[in-house]
Chains A and B, each alone.
Chain A
């Protein structure tokens, strides 16, 4: 009889798309009652290993765990914690908390978006910066503040943005290969 099944190839491709411990974790729970409730734990493992959840990785999780892909991507887009795109080398967090906001944080945010050409939750094409907003960093005395990686800058004026970004761009320039996006 003609072989029309594609499962062997799909299983192999799915296993190849995921870190080995994730495959082992899924295997360990496969067939158990309520194994689909391990979905979030599985996605955590994938993100810990890869930094984000790629479409390929989510498809692989869906196939190996036999959880519908729509459910996987539904969960991944529901939780703020899960990232669907690779993170930039530098994480910019603009505080939009009350104190920063009344001190003009929205103008800082606008300037950052204009300079970087991205919106909140996005990463620049060169993979250098990711932009996020946050609510209060606990240093309202410095408002408005911008946090880049683990360093807090404040008080910040829109005009300061170019200088702040410049520092990181300069630091990164050199023989280092850019991170693929």
Chain B
């Protein structure tokens, strides 16, 4: 035993921990789980909810285990009758200022407040006091804010500030009248919100949820056969995560079951966002090579993540010229569905209903952008379901997901390389781009396949890669505070970066704002979660014959048949977009 260990007892059990350890963490080492609500292991301490109170000998008031550090000789009781009563009362008071609509709530059964209330023994509601009443804010295309369900734990405020660097949310007012919301408590669509949806992921209740698109999809699916040709595309990350919603272990790849489930729901064609991802790589690699030859500024910043694109327009508009003009894989595929595929099928674009399954809530906003609409104003993507929404639809439809046979994607927009699968992981877009760029730069058909230094969930990774004798300086960031760091480095000058991948969500799309709420033994923002989900994607990648986007025969065919040249006129018209500075401008 080292000298600088602290000795204490928790529930009469002696334990030694390093100085600075909190009571909550020390208790965990003894297998004692102290209940908590506002506490989050990957965010700063708030100490607001008081659910984690414990009794400490020598104190006639309770201390919060999440924030209290241990001291030598400390004696902690986590389960005295007084503590149990106090915790129950605290939860009861929270519940009495909370709508009593659990049965009709989106988080029924997966709500932390509900779980704590049950666990701590709240069986009747004794305090029938005044209840806060606020309207629901549905102004945003992506995030719905329901302040009545908020318990003021402040997790959303912290994730928005500390992980995303957006700082859209703050506590307003004081006491009973405290409300969490954007500046001036204005509408979400008038705020600096970049719609990443991380507030939804960390919220213990349903105070933040995605904008519902299930209704419109049910409606389309229930049309008489033949009225609309309903096309669906799941993003790479869905296949690595949706199994969790059906109690499958984290990181189980379920591509085949996902396809079958979509067919059973009634979709006429099941395509793959992966095809769009391969196409993005062709277009983006070409854009990159052109910039390397002096056409346009370097570094080239990726543009797949719609949360990042929103951040770009609101927080870093001066970086717009650096950003790839490529549409995201979803929007590329949706565009092709209503042009190329419609033409092939002899359908009018308005006869097609195009649904995307995304790990992301910002994609709902992306789909609504006028830049991603046809000339008559109808969007290329009609609906965007999150992984959670699709999982609910599958359950609601009575589909036994776990025991489904494997299906296959439809052709031609369902064929893809392994490079597309890894788009869902942070570093995946970079790796996919490098696989193709390496071949194009060297002119050889065999370049390196796996780029280990861009893998892993570290927030910011930098590397210098030798490609065809050229030194390429790359950076990969996830979580927008890390994007700020790398963008500031670019702006400061000095090192010349060539290619930078930016994803808004911490861990990449696999941990996006639309992904399943994690299982109880793993919290949101736990780096293990994106790691395991990404592992599933890398597994799919290694199991594929095709590993490079440009090897995808359907893509080759698409260029010959329809698009012409990569970065050519038709590609530009259909597959590229533009950005503009947007207000309100964020503070960085």
Interface residues of A (CB under 8 A from B): 1-7, 10, 55, 58-59, 62-63, 66-74, 77-78
B173 touches A68 (CB 8 A): no
Once bound together, how far apart are the Cα atoms of A4 and B587, in whole Å? Answer: 17
Please, which residue of chain B has its CB at the minimum distance from the CB of A4? B320
Interface residues of B (CB under 8 A from A): 161, 167-174, 182-185, 191-192, 297, 317-321, 579-581, 583-588
Q: A2-B320, A74-B171, A77-B172 are in contact. Are A59 and B584 (CB under 8 A)?
A: yes
Q: A5-B317, A6-B317, A55-B184 are in contact. Are A66 and B587 (CB under 8 A)?
A: yes
Q: A1-B321, A5-B317 are in contact. Are A70 and B581 (CB under 8 A)?
A: no
**Nearest-Cβ distance from residue A161 to partner chain B, whole angstroms:** 27
A4 touches B581 (CB 8 A): yes
Chain A residues lying within 8 Å of B587, measured Cβ to Cβ, are 62-63, 66-69
**Nearest-Cβ distance from residue B508 to partner chain A, whole angstroms:** 25
Please, which residue of chain B has its CB at the minimum distance from the CB of A1? B321
Once bound together, how far apart are the Cα atoms of A173 and B161, in whole Å? Answer: 51
Please, which residue of chain A has its CB at the minimum distance from the CB of B579? A4
Q: A66-B587, A70-B183, A73-B184 are in contact. Are A4 and B170 (CB under 8 A)?
A: no
Chain B residues lying within 8 Å of A67, measured Cβ to Cβ, are 587
Once bound together, how far apart are the Cα atoms of A143 and B583, in whole Å? Answer: 52
Which of the residues A3, A10, A68, A78 comes within 8 Å of B161, measured between beta carbons?
A: A68
Once bound together, how far apart are the Cα atoms of A6 and B170, in whole Å? Answer: 25
**Nearest-Cβ distance from residue A157 to partner chain B, whole angstroms:** 30
Chain B residues lying within 8 Å of A72, measured Cβ to Cβ, are 183
Chain A residues lying within 8 Å of B581, measured Cβ to Cβ, are 4-6
Chain B residues lying within 8 Å of A6, measured Cβ to Cβ, are 317, 581, 583, 585
A78 touches B183 (CB 8 A): no
Once bound together, how far apart are the Cα atoms of A1 and B294, in whole Å? Answer: 12
B297 touches A69 (CB 8 A): no
**Nearest-Cβ distance from residue B557 to partner chain A, whole angstroms:** 35
Q: Which of B321, B579, B584, B585 gathers the greatest number of chain A CB atoms within 10 Å?
A: B585
Please, which residue of chain A has its CB at the minimum distance from the CB of B583? A6
B317 touches A73 (CB 8 A): no
**Nearest-Cβ distance from residue B394 to partner chain A, whole angstroms:** 37
Once bound together, how far apart are the Cα atoms of A68 and B586, in whole Å? Answer: 7
Q: Top 7 nearest A-B pairs by Cβ distance?
A: A74-B170, A68-B167, A70-B170, A5-B318, A69-B183, A4-B320, A70-B183
Once bound together, how far apart are the Cα atoms of A56 and B33, in whole Å? Answer: 48
A70 touches B321 (CB 8 A): no
Which of the residues A1, A2, A10, A77 comes within 8 Å of B585, measured between beta carbons?
A: A10
B170 touches A71 (CB 8 A): yes
Once bound together, how far apart are the Cα atoms of A2 and B580, in whole Å? Answer: 11
Please, which residue of chain B has its CB at the minimum distance from the CB of A71? B170
**Nearest-Cβ distance from residue A176 to partner chain B, whole angstroms:** 32
Chain A residues lying within 8 Å of B171, measured Cβ to Cβ, are 74, 78
Chain B residues lying within 8 Å of A62, measured Cβ to Cβ, are 183, 587
Chain A residues lying within 8 Å of B183, measured Cβ to Cβ, are 58, 62, 68-70, 72-74
Which of the residues A2, A58, A78 comes within 8 Å of B321, measured between beta carbons?
A: A2
Once bound together, how far apart are the Cα atoms of A4 and B578, in whole Å? Answer: 11
Chain A residues lying within 8 Å of B167, measured Cβ to Cβ, are 68, 70-71
Chain B residues lying within 8 Å of A78, measured Cβ to Cβ, are 171-174
Chain A residues lying within 8 Å of B191, measured Cβ to Cβ, are 70
Chain A residues lying within 8 Å of B585, measured Cβ to Cβ, are 6-7, 10, 63
Chain A residues lying within 8 Å of B192, measured Cβ to Cβ, are 68-70
Please, which residue of chain B has its CB at the minimum distance from the CB of A6? B581
Once bound together, how far apart are the Cα atoms of A20 and B224, in whole Å? Answer: 67
With contacts A5-B581, A69-B587 known, what are 14 further pairs, Cβ within 8 A?
A4-B579, A5-B318, A6-B317, A6-B585, A63-B585, A63-B587, A68-B170, A68-B183, A70-B168, A70-B191, A71-B167, A73-B170, A73-B172, A74-B171
**Nearest-Cβ distance from residue A31 to partner chain B, whole angstroms:** 14
Q: Which of A5, A7, A63 gathers the greatest number of chain B CB atoms within 10 Å?
A: A5
Please, which residue of chain A has its CB at the minimum distance from the CB of B319? A4
Chain A residues lying within 8 Å of B584, measured Cβ to Cβ, are 59, 69
Please, which residue of chain B has its CB at the minimum distance from the CB of A84? B184
Once bound together, how far apart are the Cα atoms of A3 and B587, in whole Å? Answer: 19
Which of the residues A1, A10, A70 comes within 8 Å of B182, measured between beta carbons?
A: A70
**Nearest-Cβ distance from residue B499 to partner chain A, whole angstroms:** 18
Chain B residues lying within 8 Å of A4, measured Cβ to Cβ, are 317-321, 579-581
Once bound together, how far apart are the Cα atoms of A106 and B260, in whole Å? Answer: 67
Chain A residues lying within 8 Å of B588, measured Cβ to Cβ, are 66
**Nearest-Cβ distance from residue A81 to partner chain B, whole angstroms:** 12
Please, which residue of chain B has its CB at the minimum distance from the CB of A75? B170
Please, which residue of chain A has its CB at the minimum distance from the CB of B587? A68
**Nearest-Cβ distance from residue A11 to partner chain B, whole angstroms:** 10
**Nearest-Cβ distance from residue A36 to partner chain B, whole angstroms:** 10
Chain A residues lying within 8 Å of B579, measured Cβ to Cβ, are 4
Once bound together, how far apart are the Cα atoms of A31 and B70, in whole Å? Answer: 37
Chain B residues lying within 8 Å of A58, measured Cβ to Cβ, are 183-184
Chain B residues lying within 8 Å of A70, measured Cβ to Cβ, are 167-170, 182-183, 191-192
Chain A residues lying within 8 Å of B161, measured Cβ to Cβ, are 68
